[in-house]
Chain A
Amino acid sequence: MKLEPEQESILRGEQGQALARALRTLVAYGEAFGAKRLLPIKSGHLAGSFGAFIFRAYYKILEQLVADGVRVKVPTTVNPRPGRDLNLINRITFRRQNFLEKSFAALGVTPNYSCVCYDRENIPGRGDILGWAESSAVQFANSVLGARTNRNSVLIDLCSALTGYTPEFGYLLDQNRRGQVLVKLQIEKMDANALGFVIGHKVVDGVPVLENYPFSRVELKNLGGAMAAAGGVALFHVEGLTPEAPDLKSVFDGEPRQTITVTQQDLDAIRAPDPGRAAMVVFGCPQMTFEEAMELAPWFAGRRVNKPVWFCMVPDSLERFRKTEPYQKVVAAGVELNTYCPLAALTVRPGKIVLTSSGKCYYYLADTIYGTREDCLKGCGVKP
């Protein structure tokens, strides 16, 4: 790899030993994939936001970085909190949470605590080079915003944010951003979450191109989150909608490698036949935005939920939602609004079946059943 003078100086330890190690990490990481250089990044997003006590090596590294007084070189956001205060088992499991959050503050990380960092705090532009982790955020930045980031690991994200660089390989290069699999849609009733889940399973880690469909921004968020979870997809295109796919001709190099069709039947197959058997219902994963909450709220007005219902929200969105009238109605209906990551907060909950309309939550959380938004509203008793 060929390094710039500024990068050489960091490697020599002129900005401290910890930062030298961070850069050495990125060089070794890049060389393993044949990267020729390190590129400056516009922003960072960190995924390692759960202070689970088992990640001792992670905390050792954070201690070194904080002791050296290094700070992030670019605006950097961070994933949701794990719900440490929810119960005793979470307080034990996530007992390094305070240490973790103090470290982030010392390193200059923006305390947004959301996986939907691209909603307000960290919005990349088309063509921006990023050093992000968090599969759903990587997916949205690459696919919907046309920015460029690899699917980086926890700690690689931090090394990038602190040095301001990421190695050039993978999704940073034009040739790896072309369409590979054409996805035809035969769907009567769109459910972006279920569609993402099905495509993730079928495509695994190629670049899928969906036939034109007028997905909303919220739908693209949930579609991408589910796709990245169920498979390893880090970039998708939608014909005539996303920035790098004005039409099918220009997004493929010749013919697609493969063509698949997703039907209404495929979507219906993952729906639980009896959503009412769940012990609780979770909305929001990736976290729910202000717009989603406002859209969902009318269903709860004047009604009462018959089991625990969570809205897992972007903290900034929850703040704004609190000031609205629909918020009062949702609370009166018995909904609990929080800013946790449900995947972390609900990991330990013996015997409780969770019903969710999130394809990502359905994939990752054990003992979870899937329903469309309508199924979930029925499942908690607010829709007949």
Chain B
Amino acid sequence: MTTLKGRGVFGGRASGPALVTRMPMNFTAAFTKLANLLPSKRSEIQDRHHELYKKKIRGKVLVFPAAIGLTYTGMVLLQRMYEKGRPAAMIVQRADSLLVSGTVLAETWFSRGVPVVEYGSDDLFEKIRTGDRVEVDGKTGEITVTGK
């Protein structure tokens, strides 16, 4: 078991299997494609330029460096969390205004936000591997990793 100390950005406690990428996430490119209209593919990443193409984020602790893209990003994330198929939590190296907006909006308007923890150091991607069981605390910033 490994414990990492990040910065609690938003939300409470949540856990799930990790889905890890070193590539920034463009949520608008990932979740506004025709395929995302199918209930079975709502949470499937449809960004062809991304290494997580066709991976599902539902129930996962999504670990990535930062969000990129349009000022639509907050609304796209809100929509993702509003419907079934939201992630369990997000761990990022840099929490930017658009990413935080999405989860804040989902929580304030629909009680569907997910915790966000910021952890800047590059060992993030060595300490957490895809499939690891991860628990995060969006208040204290504590991340607990227990193997697969």
A32, B95: Cβ atoms closer than 8 Å: yes
Interface residues on B, range: 20 to 34
The answer to whether A25 touches B109, judged by C-beta atoms less than 8 angstroms apart, is: yes
Whole-angstrom CA separation of A376 from B6 in the bound complex: 49
Q: Is the CB of B110 within 8 A of A57?
A: yes
Q: Compute how far the CA of A313 lies from the CA of B100 in the bound complex, rounded to whole angstroms.
A: 33
Q: How far is the CA of A228 from the CA of B105 in the complex (A)?
A: 24
Query: A21 to B110, alpha carbons, bound, how many Å?
Result: 10
The 3 closest A-B pairs by CB, nearest first: A153-B74, A153-B101, A57-B82
Partner of B71, one of A24, A32, A154, A170: A154
The size of the chain A interface, using a CB distance under 8 A, is: 34
In contact, B79 and A25 (Cβ under 8 angstroms): no
Question: A133-B71, A154-B72 given as contacts; is B100 within 8 A of A32 (CB)?
Answer: yes
Complex Cα distance, B1 from A371, in Å, reads 54
In the complex, what residue of chain A is closest to B9 when comparing beta carbons? Answer: A32
Q: How far is A235 from B6 in the complex, measured between Cα atoms in Å?
A: 28
Give chain A residues whose Cβ lies under 8 Å from the Cβ of B10. Answer: 28, 32
Specify which chain A residues have a CB less than 8 angstroms from the CB of B32 in the assembled complex.
52, 54
In the complex, whether A150 has a CB less than 8 A from a CB of chain B is yes
Which of B72, B76, B100 has the most A CB atoms < 10 Å from its CB? Answer: B72
Q: Does A58 contact B (CB under 8 A)?
A: yes
List B1-52 residues whose CB lies under 8 Å from chain A: 9-10, 32, 36-37
Asked whether any CB of chain A lies closer than 8 Å to the CB of B73, the reply is yes
Report A49 CB to chain B, min CB distance, Å.
10
Known: A32-B104, A135-B70, A152-B71. A56 touches B79 (CB 8 A): yes
- The answer to whether A33 touches B100, judged by C-beta atoms less than 8 angstroms apart, is yes
Contacts of B79 in A (CB 8 A): 54-58
Taking CB atoms and an 8 Å cut-off, the chain A residues in 140-180 that contact chain B are 150-157, 170
Whether B78 and A57, one on each chain, are in contact in the complex, defined by CB atoms closer than 8 angstroms, is yes
- Nearest-neighbour CB distance to chain A for B98, whole angstroms, equals 5
Among A47, A152, A154, max chain B CB count under 10 A is at A154
Q: Which residues of A contact B (CB under 8 A)?
A: 21, 24-25, 28-29, 32-33, 47-48, 52, 54-58, 60-61, 64, 133-135, 138, 150-157, 170, 205, 232, 364
A48–B100 CB distance below 8 A: no
Query: Measured between C-beta atoms, what is the minimum distance from B100 to chain A in Å?
Result: 5
A29 touching B104, Cβ below 8 Å: yes
Q: Give complex CA distance A156, B79 in Å.
A: 14
Q: Are B104 and A48 in contact (CB under 8 A)?
A: no
Q: In whole angstroms, what is the CA distance A356 to B127 when docked?
A: 44
Check: B68 CB closer than 8 A to any chain A CB.
Answer: yes
B73, B83, B109 interface centre (most CB from chain A within 10 Å): B109
- Is there contact, CB below 8 Å, between A21 and B71? no
Shortest distance between the CB of A146 and any CB in chain B (Å):
20
Contacts of B110 in A (CB 8 A): 57, 60
Q: Let me know if B97 is at the binding interface, CB within 8 A.
A: yes
Which residue of chain A has its CB nearest to the CB of B101? Answer: A153
User: Can you sample 17 A-B contacts with CB below 8 Å?
Assistant: A55-B79, A56-B79, A58-B78, A64-B109, A134-B71, A135-B71, A151-B97, A152-B71, A152-B97, A152-B101, A153-B105, A155-B75, A156-B97, A156-B105, A205-B96, A232-B96, A364-B70
